[in-house]
Chains A and B, each alone.
Chain A
């Protein structure tokens, strides 16, 4: 009998389904996994002045801050995805997000946006691999891990579940990033429906992805929006142009790591297509993929094949 646990963190709800063992064995493991997510929330929350992330943000201009292995690995991954995505993924965009009014504040004027542009850029984040430190080489740099922290937390939680001997689990954060351990009993994988439009008005069958020992993320521009010059703009900024991205309806990514899928789904939403530099281990699902598969197949079989 599967059991379900949940927690609220990172501005969303994480849900965990566990199966394959007695509930009294599964529940403590699930609690330990969700506790890791809560810890990640406290450590990497940009909106919590007491978080480890904000301690780094306050101190890293002018001095090298010694990082623990986990944080160093996370920032290294941010830098790698930034480079491979040709700048489409950038964890320094917080000042611009603020200037554009995407942090729930009032939309700033053009001058504020211009000023914020000067405080953005991964080239100003210096990671020293031998000393395991981070230092900002420009004032005003602010790390915002909102585009990757959810996936990072899910990866840690999944590892905790594996360490506890859990053999069958599905964990999602806010329904945008999901990771699976093995498959449900008598199934070949965890079937996850991709919601590819905000209004559910499409007559086409929703694509279904089959996950087994891997992770998937989907990014879409719906959700938070702002009004600018009479236009509704989605909450995704293009770090290369410093303006809201002219992105497609969604981008989904499947890979072994939820951290990677989380970051790459954001990058692909901005890019619109997979760059040549994308690692082979990253499988993408973009609107044209869906159009292609749904025109040729009435069932989601094709997408399942893409997964593995």
Chain B
């Protein structure tokens, strides 16, 4: 065997060994095709509703038959992005008239989710509800209860649990690769006003609910919820208290909702998640980091990396893994389809996910609906992550340490 052949063999064998143990299925790499046509509808045609429509269009077998938005402009432009769809002005009208709809996707303002989800469940629809699932603890718990009692599939749109890279990295986290968890950090950095242009002063409050202190659950609730669930997913446990601070650093336009926050979210074992979010700078984007005694795992939704400590034992396969330089460190790229890429000689290219996280969350929901696959992200997990987000926002707004009562997070 030549040196080149040997290296290729070792590379493929090494990644195959790692991949066999960590990734039992490569199904995520192929386009999803449903085994039967599924008529669906989207309620809320803002950015997230349109993003959902975009991913649904790629899935063979899905037929978007209805879209809905109370804002006529959004409804009109949203309907232009969906093939052969009927627009509806209210969700009630959609549920009453579009009888053939099997599943609905709820992408309306957070504080409106509960009423729409309960109506949809009552109408016998499968429900995919965007996260955060609600803006009050009471609503979160009510939605979890409604989902538990429903005869249909009800899921929360938290995407970490469906993301193949996050699934892959979780196997590392739960093996000896990270070893003892030392600490955690996460951030959601964007540069945006978070303000929607409103055609009239009357529409201002409705469109800018995220900036309305009476309705908004702030950056911690709206952005943090998705990330807090990643830590719940990896650890299988929930935090016990939170403290935080917030301020308006950039967008001094009269708003009352902070544009920059920092929070410390504590777990029972003494570990802490250091969370930061801002609307003033996008550096580093959105990511989560687990720091262990052997390695750190950094996750950034379409990509994931592992940074090994110098004294961590070598496991073999990582010698041949794809690497990327980060300042003065070298990260091992956690490539979800490593085996397939290695067989094609493309491992060095270090590609990320072929689809956005949203695609995998939607795909898991559709498989639960059409193939009776187990629910990946239950409404109960959605409620728990959202409640942590709400309480984190509460800690930031009040400046008080907030205890997270385990009873508040109970329920399947």
* Cross-chain contact A68 with B356 (CB below 8 angstroms): no
- Shortest C-beta distance, A131 to chain B (Å), equals 9
Task: Return the 7 tightest CB-CB contacts between A and B, nearest first.
Answer: A50-B355, A66-B83, A164-B197, A55-B58, A49-B354, A28-B195, A29-B197
A292: Cβ under 8 A from any B Cβ? no
- Shortest C-beta distance, B411 to chain A (Å), equals 35
| Assembled-state Cα–Cα distance A165/B198 (Å) | 9
* Cross-chain contact B196 with A132 (CB below 8 angstroms): no
Given A50-B355, A55-B31, A58-B31, A27 and B54 contact (CB-CB distance below 8 Å): no
| Assembled-state Cα–Cα distance A69/B353 (Å) | 28
Residues of A within 8 A of B54 (CB): 39, 42-43, 52
A25-63 residues with Cβ-Cβ distance < 8 A to B are 25, 27-29, 31-32, 35, 39, 42-43, 49-50, 52, 55, 58-59
- Shortest C-beta distance, A41 to chain B (Å), equals 12
* Cross-chain contact A66 with B84 (CB below 8 angstroms): yes
* Cross-chain contact B47 with A164 (CB below 8 angstroms): no
| Assembled-state Cα–Cα distance A67/B193 (Å) | 33
B374: Cβ under 8 A from any A Cβ? no
| Assembled-state Cα–Cα distance A49/B337 (Å) | 14
| Sample (12) of A-B pairs whose CB atoms are under 8 Å apart | A24-B195, A24-B253, A27-B195, A32-B197, A39-B50, A52-B58, A69-B79, A69-B80, A69-B81, A70-B80, A132-B84, A165-B199
- Shortest C-beta distance, B87 to chain A (Å), equals 12
B82: Cβ under 8 A from any A Cβ? yes
* Cross-chain contact B354 with A164 (CB below 8 angstroms): no
B192: Cβ under 8 A from any A Cβ? yes
| Assembled-state Cα–Cα distance A49/B80 (Å) | 23
A3-36 residues with Cβ-Cβ distance < 8 A to B are 24-25, 27-29, 31-32, 35
B57: Cβ under 8 A from any A Cβ? yes
| Assembled-state Cα–Cα distance A35/B58 (Å) | 21
B290: Cβ under 8 A from any A Cβ? no
B213: Cβ under 8 A from any A Cβ? no
Q: Which of B47, B57, B83, B353 contacts A55 (CB 8 A)?
A: B57
* Minimal Cβ-Cβ distance residue in B for A50: B355
B128: Cβ under 8 A from any A Cβ? no
B192-222 residues with Cβ-Cβ distance < 8 A to A are 192-193, 195-197, 199
- Shortest C-beta distance, A59 to chain B (Å), equals 7
Q: Which of A32, A49, A59, A70 contacts B81 (CB 8 A)?
A: A70
Give a binary string over B344-365; 1 marks a CB under 8 Å from any A CB, 0 the rest. 0000000001111001000000
| Assembled-state Cα–Cα distance A283/B121 (Å) | 57
| Assembled-state Cα–Cα distance A235/B355 (Å) | 29
- Shortest C-beta distance, A160 to chain B (Å), equals 8
B27-60 residues with Cβ-Cβ distance < 8 A to A are 31, 47, 50, 54, 57-58, 60
A163: Cβ under 8 A from any B Cβ? yes
* Minimal Cβ-Cβ distance residue in A for B53: A68
Residues of A within 8 A of B80 (CB): 68-70
* Minimal Cβ-Cβ distance residue in A for B50: A39
Which residues of A come within 8 Å of B, CB atoms? 24-25, 27-29, 31-32, 35, 39, 42-43, 49-50, 52, 55, 58-59, 66-70, 132, 163-165
* Cross-chain contact B195 with A59 (CB below 8 angstroms): no
* Cross-chain contact B83 with A32 (CB below 8 angstroms): no
- Shortest C-beta distance, B350 to chain A (Å), equals 15
* Cross-chain contact B197 with A50 (CB below 8 angstroms): no
- Shortest C-beta distance, A66 to chain B (Å), equals 4
- Shortest C-beta distance, A151 to chain B (Å), equals 18
Given A43-B54, A68-B82, A28 and B196 contact (CB-CB distance below 8 Å): yes
* Minimal Cβ-Cβ distance residue in A for B83: A66
- Shortest C-beta distance, B289 to chain A (Å), equals 25
* Cross-chain contact B356 with A32 (CB below 8 angstroms): no
| Assembled-state Cα–Cα distance A279/B148 (Å) | 61
- Shortest C-beta distance, A27 to chain B (Å), equals 5
| Assembled-state Cα–Cα distance A9/B195 (Å) | 22
Residues of A within 8 A of B195 (CB): 24, 27-28, 31
Q: Which of A28, A29, A50, A52 contacts B353 (CB 8 A)?
A: A50
* Cross-chain contact A50 with B356 (CB below 8 angstroms): yes
B316: Cβ under 8 A from any A Cβ? no
* Cross-chain contact A163 with B84 (CB below 8 angstroms): no
- Shortest C-beta distance, B82 to chain A (Å), equals 5
User: Can you name 7 extra interface pairs (CB under 8 A) apart from A24-B253, A28-B193, A29-B197?
Assistant: A31-B192, A50-B58, A50-B359, A55-B31, A66-B84, A68-B57, A163-B199
Given A24-B253, A50-B356, A163-B73, A35 and B199 contact (CB-CB distance below 8 Å): no
| Assembled-state Cα–Cα distance A32/B71 (Å) | 15
* Minimal Cβ-Cβ distance residue in B for A38: B47
Residues of B within 8 A of A35 (CB): 47
Give a binary string over B241-274; 1 marks a CB under 8 Å from any A CB, 0 the rest. 0000000000001100000000000000000000
- Shortest C-beta distance, A287 to chain B (Å), equals 39
| Assembled-state Cα–Cα distance A28/B193 (Å) | 7
| Assembled-state Cα–Cα distance A32/B74 (Å) | 12
* Cross-chain contact A67 with B83 (CB below 8 angstroms): yes
| Assembled-state Cα–Cα distance A61/B54 (Å) | 20
* Minimal Cβ-Cβ distance residue in B for A43: B54
| Assembled-state Cα–Cα distance A32/B198 (Å) | 11
| Assembled-state Cα–Cα distance A28/B207 (Å) | 12
- Shortest C-beta distance, A9 to chain B (Å), equals 14
Residues of B within 8 A of A70 (CB): 80-81
Give a binary string over B78-118; 1 marks a CB under 8 Å from any A CB, 0 the rest. 01111110000000000000000000000000000000000
Residues of A within 8 A of B199 (CB): 163-165
* Cross-chain contact B60 with A59 (CB below 8 angstroms): yes
Given A52-B54, A68-B57, A132 and B193 contact (CB-CB distance below 8 Å): no
* Cross-chain contact A28 with B197 (CB below 8 angstroms): yes
* Minimal Cβ-Cβ distance residue in A for B58: A55
* Cross-chain contact A31 with B193 (CB below 8 angstroms): yes
- Shortest C-beta distance, A116 to chain B (Å), equals 20
